[in-house]
Amino acid sequence: MARPSVIAIDGPAASGKSTLGQRLAEALGYLYFDTGVMYRAVTLAALRRGVDPNDEAAVTRLAEVVHIDVVPPTVADGRQYTVLLDGEDVTWDLRQPEVDAWVSPVSAYPGVRAALLSQQRRIAAGGRVVMVGRDIGTVVLPNADLKIYLDASLEERARRRYKEMMARGQSASYEEVLQSMRRRDEIDSRRATAPLRPAPDAVVIDSTTMDADAVLKHVLKLVEGADDHDGK
């Protein structure tokens, strides 16, 4: 059985997609690409340039002209990659609460998704890639060799995001993070374009009670064809 060359990982915010994607790519020697940073970069650009995130036409025009690069880490500060917005390192700026609050509406705009889709597919065309997002298996790479949908309870995901923010010195309460994540889940799952959902042929994994090592071990078994694909 040939090892899958193109692997898609989808799931809601803070389900562990980025951690899994990075570690899986490292284990396989593949390219790691988190498409979510593209939408965050467009959101950040809009906020910085005074473009109303509610103005779909204006945000779409912005998405069509900004230049976004995702490259291997350029600074040893715990980052998984470096994101360049028109040449500026904005890696950690993308995790600001303001970006968290607006990224789901921005990413729901069909024009924004269309503007970024071709770039995502171009990156995957070379194979040996682990691509992470919310519609990779359903829209971006419907023919991916292996599709994973990583989930976890809302409360556990909020706890993870809160812990991550505290570690970076950002101020927020758990309740604020929980409410923000609940709102984001609703937007992501109800949007008309590419709603968040598992692809029909995706392997669904609930990571609520699993640590990162256990999730990686499970997915590596899937990659090697040594698992029964029951998602448990």
The predicted pLDDT at position 122 comes to 85
| Per-domain boundaries in the chain | 6-223
Greatest pairwise CA separation for the chain in angstroms: 52
For the domain made up of 6-223, give the CATH fold. Answer: Rossmann fold (3.40.50)
Length of the chain: 232
Contact in structure between 124 and 118 (CB atoms under 8 Å): no
Helix axes 36-48, 97-107, angle to 10 degrees: 110
Cite the beta strand spans of the chain per DSSP E: 6-10, 31-34, 68-71, 82-85, 88-89, 129-133, 146-151, 203-206
Where does the pLDDT of residue 1 fall: very low under 50, low under 70, confident under 90, or very high at 90 and above?
low
Alpha carbons 21 and 42: distance in angstroms, whole number: 22
Helix, strand, coil percentages (3-state) for the chain, rounded to 5, are 50, 15, 35
In tens, the pLDDT along 162-192 reads: 998 898 888 889 999 999 999 989 988 888 8
For the stretch 20-77, pLDDT in tens is 999 999 999 998 988 989 999 999 999 999 999 999 999 999 999 999 888 878 999 9
Residues 149 and 81: their CA atoms lie apart, in Å, by 22
Number of C-alpha atoms within 13 angstroms, CB side, residue 175? 0
pLDDT average, residue stretch 134-158 = 96
Span of 54-58, 123-127, 141-145, 218-222 with lowest mean pLDDT: 123-127
pLDDT-derived band at 226, boundaries 50, 70, 90? very low
| Residue 220, token pair as written in the block | 């590596």
What are the φ/ψ torsions at residue 175 (nearest 5 degrees)? -65, -40
Q: Which pair of structure tokens corresponds to residue 166?
A: 């505290």
Tell me the per-residue pLDDT of 96-116, one tens digit each, with 9 for 90 and over: 989 989 998 998 899 999 999
